[in-house]
Amino acid sequence: MNATPPPVSPPPAASLSLAERLARERRARLAAERTLEWKMRELAAAQEKLALQARALSEQMVEERQSAHAARSEAARLKGQNERYLGDLDRAHTAAVMAERRLRTSIDTIRDGFAVFDTDNRLVMANRAFLAPFAPGSILPGMAYPDLLAALTPLLRLDVAGDDWVQQMLARIASDPIPPVELALLSGPSLRLEDSIARDGDRVCLAIDITAEMRLRAAIEAIPDGFVIFDRNDRLTLCNQTYRDLCAADGITVEPGIRFQDILRASVASGQFPAAAGREDDFIQDRLAEFRAASGHVELHLADGRWLRAQDRPTPDGGRVGLRRDITAEREVQETLRAARHAAEAANGAKSAFLANMSHEIRTPMNGVVGMAELLCGTDLTEDQRLFAETIRSSGEALLAIINDILDWSKIEAGRLVLHPAPFDLERLIHETAILLQPQARAKGIDLLVDYDMFLPTRLVGDAGRLRQVLTNLMGNAVKFTETGHVLVRVVGTMEDGDRLRLHITVEDTGIGIAPEHADHIFGDFNQVETAEDRRYQGTGLGLAITRRLVERMDGHLWLDSVPGEGSCFGFALTLPVAERIAAPGVPTALHHVLLAEANPVNRAILERQLHQLGIAVLHHRSGLEPLSTDGLDLLLIDADQGAEDGLALLSALRARGHRAPALLMAAPDAMARAEALVAEGSAQAVLAKPVPRSDLFAALRHLTGARLPAAVAEPPAARRLRILAAEDNRTNQLVLAKMLRDLDLDLRFAEDGRQAIDLWRGFHPDLIFMDISMPVMDGCTAARAIRAAEGGLAHVPIVALTAHAMEEDSDRIRDAGMDHHLTKPLRRSAILDVLSRYTARLEDRATAA
């Protein structure tokens, strides 16, 4: 701070010169200026000080202002917090109110009753279910428990007086723990009261609705068997009175909680199970294992003679639910049934044996009757004698057919029909059957046709004998019940798994047909269509029943389509293994154009299809002797029977006109002789027997390839006579056999018994042996076995058994004895010739070789 300048005092103005005055003035001014400067400085210093003070003051003010602001914010924060606390408090209160309301609602929605009583036994609260049985508003909080009980009493079904019940209930809540009690309301439902004391001393009472449980218990009680449920630890949870009684019989009182094994051990200890005697532990272990396995059932024999069936099953919670049934009566019935079945089987066996014996007894004399009648028919007879002889023969045959049917039927009934599958030719079998039926068909003027799909194999594996029986029956019926038109056997099929053929065989006729209402009936035993028209036809009504069962026995099925008045079609489907795949038929290269003269449209279609498949064009000849050019034709295929016209006359006429193409004839037995005469004179090359087997047709066509009226076939080289040995003890039968073979130019020798047969076989070297089965000294089977043993596999003479039996066991015995074939008496000439021709090829080979 500057020192204050010395004060300047101006000299008096009068005494001074101007300069002095001026100097004085200047000095004064300077002094004033200095003073001013001093003052200014002071002022500045004061101002500066003031400014400093002001700044300090303002800084202080700022600070004060800031702390005031902070205080204000804090106050605001605290206020906000306070408000939040208040909000929270408010919300918490609302939530608590809501929660309480929700809890009440929830408690009200519980189906079971719920109530709380305070330590003074006054009602604190109760839910809707608890109050439901009472009149609305009659039970209010604060009500004393005894008053509540008094209000409840009139609503209950009680078996004690109301007051007593109230006393019991009051005593009950005084006990610890409080036992549950069940109540039945007069309005229906049942309740169980379960009370417990809470920590604060209040009593909580649950009134559980057990109506469904009571119903279930009533149902379980209604079960006549013992019923029991064990939990996963094998402890009993529930059982009915019957189960309790069963256990009581063993001296065991069952209570919930008792273990299965304890009940079991107690029953074993009481000697309840005789089967456990001496092996008690094992018995218990076995029974426990069965109980745990809980599959199936066990039958337990009880000491008092009764039988109990115990059946246990698992429950979803791992426990067991069991039934115990007294099956004593059931077992007695079973025992009676078993005895009855044994008796029935024995009776059935006796019936079969009786039938077999009867058949033997009837067949033996029938051999004489039928055989002799057949021979008699072959002699010179007057008209009347022939009629009588024919009648004896046909009646005998009819009787035999019936015996065979009854035998077959009884065999099927007894379940003793055994199939013998072996390779056979189905097409050939059908043709053979057709040929046998041909005479009846021709007599009625019916065409018997076979259509075997040419791309199907024919060598199959099956029981040819039984299949022949099925076909004979269906085709025989078709011929029997048809007066005009045709009977057509059609075979189609498809290959399955490469080597099995699924066959569909149908036998279709144009006969009287079968009404739909009879369609099922006719497959029954002894059933026939009972109409006046049908009764013109004879029969036992067993044929279709046997046929159906045979087909079913071969795992096939039989069906029928029929329109009454138009015809019937019986069909069956079978699957048979293929024995040999068909070789593609050798196509005759030189045959391109064939003239087919066949009047029957169905047969014409079949033949045409077969020829087309060989690549041969078919020209149809329609009317008998129409002018015809055979130029360019390789073959004439002519049916001898052209309906109204004669096929043989047609051929003769063609030849007379100079037609040179080779000719094949097809003839039924009645036209056979005339047809063969045309072959003999060279007009035709061969005759085929109708219906023509495909293989025969192909063979004939192959033979004709390139041929143009070939020169007469050379006679076969003369062969020695065939040697036949017949072992037969019965003189009549010897005579029948000798007569039947009479015109065959055979060397035939008889043996009287099996031993003689063996001796003769050694010296005579027969080409074939007919061997009777029942003979004195040594039977046929023993003799055949001895011959096979002596042959030692080096040679094999065909042995044909002759038997009067027709039972299955015989076929087996015969096969086992090493015999090749089996003929049932009475012998028929056709069957004997068939057997001879079957072995002829082999025999002729041997004869020429010999």
Q: Provide the binding-site residues for ligand ADP, judged by CB under 6 A.
A: 473, 477-478, 481, 509, 511-514, 522, 528-529, 534, 539-545, 568
- 10 to 7, 23, 40, 657: CA distances (angstroms): 10, 10, 22, 201
User: By the 8 A CB rule, do 683 and 651 touch?
Assistant: yes
Which tokens belong to 285?
């272990």
Report the C-alpha gap between 539 and 779 in whole angstroms: 36
User: By the 8 A CB rule, do 307 and 299 touch?
Assistant: yes
Report the C-alpha gap between 559 and 561 in whole angstroms: 7
**Least CB distance to ligand ADP at residue 491 (A):** 18
Which tokens belong to 70?
């902070």
Give the DSSP H or E segment for 445.
none
Of the candidates 128, 113, 123, 134, the one whose C-alpha atom is nearest the C-alpha of residue 210 is: 113
In terms of CB distance, is 110 or 515 closer to ligand ADP? 515
**Least CB distance to ligand ADP at residue 536 (A):** 10
In terms of CB distance, is 529 or 797 closer to ligand ADP? 529
**Least CB distance to ligand ADP at residue 630 (A):** 41
Report the C-alpha gap between 429 and 308 in whole angstroms: 60
In terms of CB distance, is 242 or 562 closer to ligand ADP? 562
**Least CB distance to ligand ADP at residue 554 (A):** 18
**Least CB distance to ligand ADP at residue 829 (A):** 25
**Least CB distance to ligand ADP at residue 452 (A):** 20
In terms of CB distance, is 553 or 739 closer to ligand ADP? 553
**Least CB distance to ligand ADP at residue 528 (A):** 3
In terms of CB distance, is 481 or 839 closer to ligand ADP? 481
**Least CB distance to ligand ADP at residue 439 (A):** 18
Which tokens belong to 670?
């009645």
In terms of CB distance, is 571 or 624 closer to ligand ADP? 571
In terms of CB distance, is 161 or 563 closer to ligand ADP? 563
Q: Quick check: helix, strand or coil at residue 254?
A: coil
CA 559 to chain centre: 21
Residues with Cβ within 8 Å of 474's Cβ and at least 6 positions away in sequence, in order, are 507, 547, 570, 572
Radius of gyration of the chain, Cα coordinates, nearest whole angstrom = 61
Half-sphere exposure of 165 (CA within 13 A, CB side): 20
**Least CB distance to ligand ADP at residue 483 (A):** 11
In terms of CB distance, is 240 or 568 closer to ligand ADP? 568
- Chain position whose Cβ is nearest to ligand ADP: 539
Report the C-alpha gap between 559 and 520 in whole angstroms: 9
Report the C-alpha gap between 468 and 439 in whole angstroms: 18
Report the C-alpha gap between 406 and 540 in whole angstroms: 9
**Least CB distance to ligand ADP at residue 403 (A):** 13
Report the C-alpha gap between 665 and 675 in whole angstroms: 7
Q: Are strands 723-727 and 747-751 parallel, antiparallel or unpaired?
A: parallel
Residue 446's Cβ-count burial label (10 Å; 0-12, 13-18, 19+) is buried
In terms of CB distance, is 512 or 640 closer to ligand ADP? 512
**Least CB distance to ligand ADP at residue 394 (A):** 16
In terms of CB distance, is 403 or 653 closer to ligand ADP? 403
**Least CB distance to ligand ADP at residue 526 (A):** 8
In terms of CB distance, is 24 or 466 closer to ligand ADP? 466
In terms of CB distance, is 180 or 524 closer to ligand ADP? 524
Report the C-alpha gap between 276 and 281 in whole angstroms: 8
DSSP state, residue 827: P
Of the candidates 425, 419, 577, the one whose C-alpha atom is nearest the C-alpha of residue 502 is: 577
Report the C-alpha gap between 826 and 803 in whole angstroms: 9
In terms of CB distance, is 319 or 539 closer to ligand ADP? 539
**Least CB distance to ligand ADP at residue 412 (A):** 13
Report the C-alpha gap between 487 and 483 in whole angstroms: 10
Angle made by CA atoms 170, 174, 178, in degrees to the nearest 5: 100
DSSP state, residue 758: H
Question: Would you tell me how many other CB atoms lie within 10 Å of the CB of residue 125?
Answer: 12
